[in-house]
Amino acid sequence: MNLPNPHGAMLAIDAAAIAHNWRLLSSRIAPAECAAVVKANAYGLGIETVVPVLARAGCCTFFTAHLEEGFRVRKAAPTSIIYVLNGMPPGSEPLYQINRLRPVLGTISEVGRWKKAGGGPSALHVDTGMNRLGLSLGEAKTLSTLNEWESIGIEVLMSHLVSSEEPGSDMNMAQITCFNRVKDWFGDRIKRRSLANSSAHFLPEPPIYELTRPGYAIYGGNPTPDQHNPMKPVIRLEAQILQIRHIEPGESVGYNAQWTAKRPSRIATISLGYGDGWLRSMSGADGKPGGAAMMNGKLCPFVGRISMDLITVDVTDCPIADVSAGQRMTLIGDGISVDDVAVMAGTNGYEILTSLGERYQRRIVGV
Ligand SMILES: *Cc1c(COP(=O)(O)O)cnc(C)c1O
């Protein structure tokens, strides 16, 4: 018996594309090591899905934001090296040690606490311009003149770029120069250095050092905005059409009547909404186009406000036979990339990925 699909929308995740993307980045920077950033549940795609795929592709080192994510990566890749970016809450030191997680130490107090707890493999984060996390330059310089930290196991010196996706930004060279100074203060006492995120792999002179930390590009996002995306698309998203309705000119669609038909129109109501991460900023109002979905090669605009569970799409220009209840429209795929969706939503692809909801039927393909 063919059971009806209980989900409104279907998210396919291509494991082969994830592995391909990581290998592509890794081969660009060899012999340096390419890690994988899997914070925010592997950019919304699922730690338990993504980490084993990357481990099989040869990835040995992972970065998470939170300790809790570190526990999950430890389960998914028992022999891997795992760094936790967001610091070490007081009292959590033994949790790092028991689970073989490596804190990214970003304050003098964290360095002190890690030493007191007995230390272990860890990274040191120095701020070179983000003004967000990490030791200040003054703190780093002072630390480099002391020797009591040398036994605590700092293996990687790292910093993070502000504008790596803008090859023309002066910030890149300024931060690289600054990072090189910090590197010289510590010299050989910290053996490995890491500065590059995804986009930095594609800078004219990529700051690779010994370890890189790509995230977005692994998941198919374009690390070179406005240029051809060198990565393979990883996800495909489709939603079911629930109803088709015919409306007359002058009739409005959706909450607060933000869009009005100017011609006899056919409207498809599809089964996803902002509850699935399809941001309300993609609503289509009179005079302000929003997002769109694809049907058999035809791009169909969203009309009216996006609701929690529903989006209304103008399918007037599609052949009648192409659109009926039960068929699916494509939200990502068939020429709509995650980066395209981001432009329609007025955000970046990172936010689109990490907003992907829990309600999709998730299918792993390409295994
Ligand atoms: C998120 C993050 C990365 C990965 O950045 P992408 O642009 O996704 O490649 C690397 N390093 C740090 C510190 C991060 O916070």
What is the residue with the minimal CA distance to atom 3 of ligand 1? 197
> Which pLDDT tens digit goes with each residue over 22-50?
999 999 999 999 999 999 999 999 999 99
Mutate to test the pocket of ligand 1, among 24, 25, 84, 85 (most ligand atoms within 8 A of CB): 85
Q: 367 falls in which pLDDT band (50, 70, 90)?
A: confident
Mean pLDDT for the chain overall: 97
- The sign of the torsion formed by the CA atoms of 141, 145, 146, 147 equals positive
- Mean of the pLDDT values across residues 321-330? 94
Cα–Cα nearest to 8, from 307, 169, 240, 207: 240
Nearest CA to ligand 1 atom 13: 160
Residues whose CB falls within 8 Å of the CB of residue 325, separated by 6 or more in sequence, listed in order = 241, 242, 243, 244
- 255 given a catalytic annotation: yes
Q: Which amino acid type is present at position 346?
A: G
Alpha helices in the chain (DSSP H): 15-29, 39-43, 47-57, 67-76, 93-98, 108-116, 137-145, 170-186, 338-345, 349-355
Percent over 70 (pLDDT), the chain: 99
Q: For this structure, is 274 an active site residue?
A: no
Q: Is the pLDDT of residue 4 over 90?
A: no
CA of 215 to the centre of ligand 1 (A): 6
Mean per-residue pLDDT, 50-59: 98
Q: How far is the CA of 212 from the centre of ligand 1 (A)?
A: 10
pLDDT computed for residue 362 by the predictor: 96
For residue 46, the model assigns a pLDDT of: 98
Q: What is the DSSP letter of 246?
A: E
Which atom of ligand 1 approaches the CA of 65 most closely? 15
Which of 57-77 are b and which e, b meaning 16 or more Cβ less than 10 Å from the residue's Cβ?
A: bebebbbbbebebbbbbbebb
Closest Cα to residue 99, out of 127, 79, 123? 79
Catalytic residue among 39, 43, 96, 274: 39
The average pLDDT across 296-306 equals 97
Q: In a mutational test of the pocket of ligand 1, which residue from 21, 28, 37 has the highest number of ligand atoms less than 8 Å from its CB?
A: 37
Nearest ligand 1 atom to alpha carbon 198: 9
Q: What is the pLDDT of residues 239-298, one digit of tens each?
A: 999 999 999 999 999 999 999 999 999 999 999 999 999 999 999 999 999 999 999 999
Question: Catalytic: which of 141, 255, 274, 288?
Answer: 255
pLDDT higher than 70, residue 342: yes
pLDDT at 219: 98
pLDDT at 5 over 70: yes
Given a cut of 70, whether residue 1 has pLDDT beyond it is no
Q: At a CB cut-off of 8 Å and minimum separation 6, what does 174 contact?
A: 129
Mutate to test the pocket of ligand 1, among 59, 132, 208, 213 (most ligand atoms within 8 A of CB): 213
From the CA of 214, give the closest atom in ligand 1: 9
On the question of pLDDT at 154 being above 90, the answer is yes
Check residue 71 and give its pLDDT: 98
Distance 220 CA to ligand 1 centre (A): 14
Is the pLDDT score of 3 beyond 90?
A: no
CA 87 to ligand 1 centroid distance, Å: 15
Report CA(297)–ligand 1 centroid distance (Å). Answer: 34
% of residues, the chain, pLDDT over 90: 96
What does the pLDDT average to over 155-161? 98
CA dihedral 15, 18, 22, 23 (to 10 degrees): 50
Residue 2 pLDDT grade (very low, low, confident, very high; cuts 50, 70, 90): low
Q: What is the pLDDT of residues 90-124, one digit of tens each?
A: 999 999 999 999 999 999 999 999 999 999 999 99
Provide residues with CB under 6 Å of ligand 1.
37, 39, 85, 160, 197-198, 213-216
Q: Are strands 265-270 and 311-314 parallel, antiparallel or unpaired?
A: antiparallel
Give the tens place of pLDDT for each residue, 215-228: 999 999 999 998 99
How far does residue 69's CA lie from ligand 1's centre (Å)? Answer: 15
